[in-house]
Each structure stands twice: as C-alpha cells, then as structure tokens.
Amino acid sequence: MTTTLPFAARMLFASTLTFLAACSAPASPPLVAATASATAQVTAADATRASSTGARSASSTGANAPPTVPLDGPVDVDRVLAHLKVLSVDIGSRPAGSEPERRAAQYIADVLKAQGYTTTIETFTYPARFDDSSVTIGSETPFKGALIDGAATGKVTATLVDGGTGLPEQVAAARVQGNIVLMRRGGLPFAQKIANAQDAGALAVIIVNNEAGPFHGTLGQQRASIPAIAIDGARADRLRAALGQSVTVEAAGGTRTVTSQNVVGQRGSTCRAYIGAHYDSVAEGPGANDNASGTASMLEMARVRGTDGLCALAFGSEETGLHGSQAFVAAHLAGTAQFMLNFDMMGRIDDAIIVGDGGLTQSILGIIGRGSDQPLRAGTFPPFASSDHVSFASVGLPAVTITSGNDPAIHTARDTYEAVRPADLKTMLTLGDAALAGMLKTLGRR
C-alpha cells in the first residue's frame, strides 16, 4: 500500500489518463521475454505434489527448468507461504528501481510462465526525488539526514561547533568560520539560521529537531550556497557529544530517473479480467505483508483460476506513487477487461475491507456472503493511502482492492515473514479466490 501520493496528485493522474483514453491510441512499452527458472522452494513443493498425483515430472533440462504444476484445484496456503518466503526472506526488501525488485519481477514471471501464462516483463521509467543526505562522526556508521530544500548539495568534513538556535550572537560566539555548525530547531526560520551561519563563514549547517523524530525543512524562496541538512531529534545527544570533533556532512538530493517493471501474465489473446498486486516494498523493511502477501496470493489464484481471458499483473514501484499500475494503464488503457481485482496486504486481519468501485464491491459481497462469519466489508482507505485499483478506475474500469486491513508494522523492519498470520492469510486467500471465481462466472468463465 502506498501512503506517499497526495489526493490532488492522484486526481491529476486520473484526469490525465482519462484524457489519454479519449484522445490517443496506446503505445506498447518495451517487452522483455520472461525466462523459465523457478525458485527451489516452490519447485520442490510442486515436484512433491506432481509425484503424488501422477503428474508428468519436470523436464530434465536442469535445475532451473520450470516445475510442472497442476493448473486447477483448491487454493493452497502453503504455496502462498512459499512464494511469500521467497519474496520477503530470500530476496528481502524490494525498493522501487532496485536490483532486488528486478529479481522479484523475474521470479514472478517464472512462476506465471510455469503456470501456463504467456508472460512478459514490461519496463517503464519515471522521475523520482531522492535524498541520500547523511552525517558521519569520525569513523562511525553514517546516519540519515534530510536535505533542507534550497540549500546547496555537497560533502564537507570539518570541526563541529555549537551555534545554538542560530541567533547572530550565538553564531558569532561559536567562531563558525571554516567549521560545521550544529543548530537546534526553533527560534528562527531555517532561512535565517543558515544565512547567519553562511555570512559568518561556516562550511555547512546541521539542524537537529527539538523533539525525537525526523523533519523536512525549506528555505522558501531563498537559497543558500552551503549544505544544510535536517537531523532526527533522537540524534541530538550524540551530536552534542561530538562538538569539537571532526564530522562529515553529505547533502545529496535531487531528482533521478527510476527504471522499474511490471510483470504481465496472459491467458488467451484478450484480457477480459485482471487480477493484480504490487510486489515492491519500501527500503526500510522486507515487505512481507505489504505486499509479498498480496503478490503471493495473486499468484496462487492465477494458478487455480487460470482460464482464457484472465490476466495476472504484478506492479513495480507502487510504494513511490502507483507508478507501475499507472504505466500499465497508460500503455494498455485497460483494454477489453470487465473488472480488476487488486490484492494489497492479505496477511493480518484487522478491519478487512474492499475498497473501490461500489457496484463491483457489492457483487463480491454477494458472492462471498455478507454474514458475520466472514470479515470483509465495504470500506475506504485513510487519507493519503491508496493502491493500484485507482489507476484502473481512472479509465472507467470497475476495480477494487481487497485488503486484510490495518497493520502498524508496514513500512518498517517489523513487516516480516514471521509476522504474517497463516490463518489470516488462508482466510483472505479463500475469500479472494471465491470472489474471483464468482466474477469469472459472470464472464462465462470458470
């Protein structure tokens, strides 16, 4: 689930895609053929099942040959857990545009290909802001800072001196010329603090928060010729202890081009129904619930419900602003599909909801039942949270996200494989599969 895209930005994207749908023909993105290697854990599980059912064994072309898997049958939570483990443990954190994200895409493509889908990896690019600013005390491990907007970038090593809150008399008393100035947040605007230090000959400024937690600062319309970064207040004591010592400030931020990819698995010549999930994660954690759980569940539903007209989509770069689903819709404009089911966080039930198109939501609730014995209900995301169904809804396709609900561990290092609840995952998987099976019947499919 992404929480980084403001509502106004989503609405601008929606109106842009609606215009594209009305006024332009889609252009095909670059396609990269998927290879046919499979991860060892899933291969082993498939081989065991194939042997027990008399299925044909996998090709003897080598360890990387795709497994032969049964393409129908009940959903199997053990398969989902195996996929989830590959994504969140073996691969781990999968930030947008990273090599682990690419490895995850290839794994997903291999699985879908082994399940009988024509599989492609569609690359896309987008501009993204980055901030790699940091402070290093001596030979210690650097800790993260945030570039203050309007300040210069660069790397400076010098003695750290105490500039108080940046008042002119405090800066003068600190003898800041040729040094790096430590200042506390508050008392003066950021622009004035940094201007006082710059005028006195300082080489860089560190502004530490006046309470625990990070913050972002800006100089407004002004600009500074020296680097300045903002630091979490939890680092205040360590920085004060470093006064008089050599420290390094690296102010590094701006915009760069990110290359990511979607995985598209197609059955038949035309997509009449979409299922999807994003497979990237934030950098801070392995993204087990958000969203290896949704991706793994989607792969299992694709296996069980594989039929002509079903297309399975795995989106990259969701966490940085729905970029993967935006790229897919911009290229394909939702085609001739009748609906889209998106799965985002399936592993810890707490206020499980269906978010999105009202008619599709009611159809799903009618399929799975509205009784108290199942946890799903119609709902909405909190402000500034969204998921990939929004991209499809923006061009008029009925689309929803199915989610197990609140999880305070997402976007942290605590979003681990061990934190996923298998019983909750099985419940959500069963409900998602029932919803898909019922909706496929409306298309005359199984």
Task: Evaluate whether 171 touches 197 at the Cβ level (below 8 Å).
Answer: yes
* Last-in-domain residue among 251, 285, 316: 251
| Calpha distance 288→285 (Å, rounded) | 8
Query: Which conformational region is residue 116 in: left (phi greater than 0), alpha (psi within -120 to 50 degrees), or beta?
Result: left
pLDDT classification of 333: cutoffs 50, 70, 90: confident
What is the per-residue pLDDT across 406-418, written as a single tens digit (0 to 9) for each?
999 999 999 999 9
Give the model's pLDDT for residue 426.
96
Residues 389, 430: one domain?
yes
Least confident of 60-64, 171-175, 250-254, 382-386: 60-64
The mean of the pLDDT values for the chain is 86
* CATH number, position 344: 3.40.630.10
Residues 229, 332: one domain?
no
Surface-to-core class of residue 441, CB atoms within 10 Å of its CB (0-12 exposed, 13-18 middle, 19+ buried): exposed
| Calpha distance 97→99 (Å, rounded) | 7
Would you call 20 helix, strand, or coil by DSSP? helix
Alpha-carbon separation of residue 243 from 118, 182, 224, 240 (angstroms): 61, 8, 23, 5
Give the model's pLDDT for residue 3.
65
On whether residue 322 sits in a domain, the answer given is yes
pTM of the model: 0.75
Give the model's pLDDT for residue 334.
66
pLDDT classification of 18: cutoffs 50, 70, 90: very low
Give the model's pLDDT for residue 379.
96
pLDDT(92) > 50 = yes
Q: Stretch 329-334: mean pLDDT, rounded? A: 87
Give the model's pLDDT for residue 373.
80
| Residue-number span of the structural domain to which 14 is assigned | 7-128+258-442
Residues 105, 147: one domain?
no
Give the model's pLDDT for residue 417.
98
Q: What percent of the chain has pLDDT over 90?
A: 78
On whether residue 2 sits in a domain, the answer given is no
Give the model's pLDDT for residue 37.
40
Residues 16, 122: one domain?
yes
Q: Stretch 219-230: mean pLDDT, rounded? A: 96
pLDDT(67) > 90 = no
Look up tokens 């854990």; give the residue.
41
